[in-house]
Chain A
Amino acid sequence: VQPPEKPLQAEEWNRLRENFRSPEIFEEVMLNSMIRCNSPIDVAKSLLTHVAKCNGDIAYRTLVKYLTLCVQQRQVSEIRDVYHIMKGKFKVLESGAYNLLIKGLSDSDEWRMALTLLEEAKKIMIPSRTSYEFCIKAASRHQEMKLAFELYREMLAKEVVPTLDVLQSFFDFSRGLKGAELQKELFGILLYLREKQIYPHETFMQSIKLWFESIPGGNWKGHLTNIKDSGKCPVCKHQLEDSDLTEEEYSILSERIIRDVIHGTDTFRKTSPQEFEAFQTFVENRLPFDIVIDGLNVSHINAKKMQCENLLEAVNCLAKENVRVLVLGRRHMLSNSSNWKREIMNEMQNKAHFFFAENISEDDPFLLYATLRSGKHCKFVTRDFLRDHKACLSDTLTRHLFRKWQRGHQICYSVFSQQPALRYDCVVQTTGDTWHIPYKDVFEEKYSYQVPRKWLCIQQK
């Protein structure tokens, strides 16, 4: 329905409603289309007046719709009125109404009322991330940085994930402000990005850069750069952190992979205890390997060739002198079929170690185990993103460790090229007088397995 252009009288509304195909939802449909067309607030008011006179009451839903329109047009006094009416009529409000009220009041002079509303909402639920976002932005817009950071910390404590937008606003509003405390808080946000392995997008990165350069007496200077495979920053000649895990992280990761990925709830689901034991003895007797290959994955690289030829090519390419290679496969590879020729299999087995799992077992967990067991220098070869195995890990910390390790140790092998594992770690990092921040040049999310190549280098002169 097309909303009218100006306030209508009661009988005019009645006529419109009679002509509408389902009169019982007339108000809602009408208000929805008013929201869509951004109709003048007076039109909506006249509808409400009509409804109130007819029924002596206005439904909660209708009030929320009206509120949406008010928020859309920043009618602050109207928002306040609606709030008082709702508060008087209903014992509690639900999150939708609170979200709207907070949004509407936060960018007005009444922004402190939005904070009170947030407090009120907390009593019945965990406020949404956008509610927090509006309050934080309102506080920082009025230079109440301390308050803003308090809300931010509260949000993290409640495990509400902040939007990148809110993080960015901290940098925007702190530009040119002095204070060691404030600086510490913002460094804290950068470390949060590091911990969660979040890459800021380009505009966010600009905000960070501008903030650094605006610190009074800070002498910070930012440059955009690309960092090559060596991991050396071309601007400040600083070597980036390497991708190796610490001893402790390494042992946590190996232990969790065995516990969650290989055994899980039932060892029989991916392998069997006998098979896993046999594999363990096999690996222990031949350690350490330098490269572990997922045989079946690599054998499917080129569909035009025989599978064993693909594998042979990969093995020839990777097994240079003094490199210990382990190839994982399944028993059916030994059956001398059209895809798996016995001569070629024999040839390969002279160049590399082979372990054949049962046909119904999964080979990826073995791949992870053998690589981790061989030590930090060992790499593995597969095109698989291993997302299903990452998903088996029980906590986010271990998943982040897994991603870090994967970035540093996975070689993506394809027909055309061999994408090497990154030698440096692609996360926000600092040495005190330098910061290196990887960023995405597009706004959209990257795939989780892609890492950005562009960096912001910030150094203190």
Chain B
Amino acid sequence: TQSANMLLRKIVTSSVLPFAARHGMKKDLFPLSRTLSLSLCLKQDKSCEPSEKLDLDAWKKVMKSGLQEEVSETVSEPKELSSLAAARETLEVWRLAGRLVPENISEEQLKTFMECPSKSAKKKYLKYLHLKELYKKNDKRKMEEKRERKLKEEEETPKTDETSNKSPFLCLWSKTMDKAYSWRAAQSMIFGQPLVFDMSYEKEMSFREVSNTVKQLVLSESSNRRSVDPFHIHFCNFEDDSLYHREFIKHYREAWGKLLITVTDQCYTEVFPKDKLIYLTADSPKVMKTFDHNKIYIVGSVVDKSIKKGLSLARAKRLGLETAALPLDNYLLWNVGAKNLTLDQMMHILLTLKDTADWKKALEFVPKRKYCGFVNKPVSELKKTLDLINTLKFGKRQEEVQKQFRKSYSKKYKLK
């Protein structure tokens, strides 16, 4: 009925027909409106007053009227803007134009923005800042909501005998845990199996890649500390006052000096005997079969957002070290994504291997989106699901999928 009302109202206003004829509007509506309007006009002939005339350019007057005052203000302002202020102005217009631009931007970020080499780099950087701002705001909002909810709950539940309810251990729980973890980490520094992070990739990475690497390392360190039998973590090739170092201090602050790990500027080849070292890299031609408790595994501290194939393999080759890759294809039906994993995933996998020697359990830490399932069922069955998923996802690209499958599994499994 809404649309019918609209139609009627349209017809009642005086200038429909000539207007419509002039502009050649939707033709399918036209005959209908004519018949209707004729009959309506006949009926409402007397009551039909010329409706209030629309001033179509009224908006211009409104916009211009606001201007006069502003103009007088701007006259006194100096015309030339500094390049920073000009960039700020541009950002403001971009925001008004509805692009993804942060609301607040610091001087430092503004400078980084201006140093971006291309238009697309600028866009990307602003989008990144915008999203960061958005997440922060959302987090803050959620925290506040949570706090309010808690306050409400506390008000609602009457305070009944507190003392009997409360365990005497409770308030010391987290502190005690920290102590226990530190004790274990200290033990690992004396007796634990070393695990080396190779910190020599700074030159290969952009600023954001380095800061992501450090985030992943912080996660790895914390999961190591919380594990039953932690590794003795070594950061090798670590240079003082490097970008890595500064980022670490941003995360840990004073705690950086108190971490129970070994940080050294020496290379792992200087710290450990060469024949005990194994460099873990996805590019390695050798596949890891079992976790060896007497070896020292090296993980490259690198986040690689562009394609830098063979980067860590090259390091190992140069030093003549043994290399190994995780047996991902032997245990998982791989679907999408690169086979290099994040540092914290590597840490989880290695910790689980060390404790249980169970590949299936360890490889649970590979992100689920990257694989379709474990190769424990008959492969043909798994392949069916993979095909189904892929046909649903990409339409008819079955052949490609099959080719891919043949490439990864040709030797071990026969397809029907």
Contact = CB atoms under 8 A, between A and B. Distances in A.
Given A61-B98, A64-B97, A4 B58 contact: no
Interface in B7-65: 9-10, 13, 15-16, 19-20, 23, 25-26, 29, 51-52, 54-60, 62-64
B89 A92 contact: yes
Interface in B65-87: 66-67, 70-71, 86
Contact of B63 (A4, A5, A85, A269): A85
Interface in A340-381: 359-360
Given A12-B9, A269-B314, A46 B63 contact: no
Contacts of B97: 60-61, 64, 94, 96-97
A59 interface: yes
A88 B64 contact: yes
Contact of B54 (A7, A51, A58, A85): A7
Nearest to A123: B86
B10 A56 contact: no
Contacts, number: 121
A305 interface: no
A126 B64 CA distance: 30
Given A49-B56, A268-B315, A6 B10 contact: yes
B134 interface: no
Given A45-B59, A85-B64, A92-B89, A266 B26 contact: no
A6 B20 contact: yes
A52 interface: yes
A94 B93 contact: yes
Contacts of A52: 58-59, 62-63
Interface string B348-369: 0000000000000000000000
A40 interface: yes
A89 B16 CA distance: 35
B93 A46 contact: no
A45 B57 contact: yes
Nearest to B204: A265
A81 B13 CA distance: 28
A287 interface: no
A61 B99 CA distance: 10
A343 to B, nearest CB: 24
A53 interface: yes
A94 B94 contact: yes
Interface string B226-245: 00000000000000000000
Given A19-B2, A40-B25, A49-B59, A266 B314 contact: yes
B142 interface: no
B190 interface: no
Nearest to A271: B317
A271 to B, nearest CB: 9
B313 interface: yes
Contact of B67 (A6, A89, A96, A359): A89
A48 B59 contact: yes
Contacts of B63: 52, 57-58, 85, 88-89
Contacts of B119: 125-126
A94 B90 contact: yes
B265 to A, nearest CB: 21
B118 to A, nearest CB: 10
Contacts of B64: 85, 88
A85 B60 contact: yes
Contacts of A19: 2
Interface residues of A, number: 45
B66 A57 contact: yes
Contacts of B56: 7, 42, 45-46, 49
Choose among B2, B99, B318 the residue with the greatest number of A CB atoms under 10 Å from its CB: B318
B6 A270 contact: no
Contacts of B29: 5
Contacts of B70: 88-89
A124 B99 CA distance: 17
B285 interface: yes
Contacts of B19: 6, 40, 42
A10 B15 CA distance: 17
Contacts of A89: 63, 66-67, 70
B4 interface: no
Interface in B82-122: 86, 89-90, 93-94, 96-99, 119
A91 B318 CA distance: 58
B311 interface: yes
Interface in A117-164: 124-126
A221 B309 CA distance: 53
B62 A53 contact: yes
A456 B307 CA distance: 41
Contacts of B20: 5-6
A45 B56 CA distance: 5
A16 to B, nearest CB: 8
A45 to B, nearest CB: 4
Choose among B16, B90, B204, B313 the residue with the greatest number of A CB atoms under 10 Å from its CB: B90
A337 B266 CA distance: 43
Nearest to A54: B62
A360 to B, nearest CB: 5
Contacts of A51: 59
Contacts of B54: 7, 9, 46, 49
A269 B308 CA distance: 9
Contact of B58 (A53, A93, A97, A269): A53
Contact of B317 (A85, A124, A268): A268
A203 interface: no
Nearest to B98: A61
A92 to B, nearest CB: 5
Contacts of B55: 49
Given A49-B56, A272-B318, 10 more contacts: A5-B25, A7-B56, A42-B56, A45-B59, A46-B56, A53-B59, A64-B97, A94-B90, A266-B311, A268-B314
25 contacts: A5-B20, A6-B16, A6-B19, A6-B20, A9-B51, A12-B9, A40-B19, A42-B19, A46-B56, A49-B55, A53-B59, A56-B66, A59-B96, A60-B97, A85-B60, A88-B70, A89-B67, A90-B93, A90-B96, A92-B86, A94-B90, A94-B99, A125-B119, A126-B119, A268-B315
A-B pairs with lowest CB-CB distance, top 9: A60-B96, A268-B314, A52-B59, A52-B62, A45-B56, A48-B59, A269-B314, A269-B310, A49-B58
